[in-house]
Amino acid sequence: MPLRGWMVGDGLETDVEAGRRAGLRTAWITDHPRADAAADLVVGDVPGFAAAVLSD
């Protein structure tokens, strides 16, 4: 069964890349989004992450 967890963090190079290497979906919490971000989801805060995931 594939992993269905998330790695959520504010470090693009640390948190997001580590989550991707572990096979997890990734969410980057930032006030300064970049178009080249490799995260599956980019949000401004933890409540934004919860809203996005729960609405899916």
The pTM assigned to this predicted structure is 0.86
Residue 18 has pLDDT above 60, yes or no: yes
- Joined together, the tokens standing for residue 56 give 């899916």
Separation of alpha carbons 9 and 12, rounded Å: 8
Residue 17: pLDDT band (50, 70, 90) is very high
Q: How many CA atoms lie within 13 A of 2 on its CB side?
A: 5
34-40: average pLDDT: 90
pLDDT given at position 31 = 95
pLDDT given at position 14 = 93
pLDDT, mean over the chain: 91
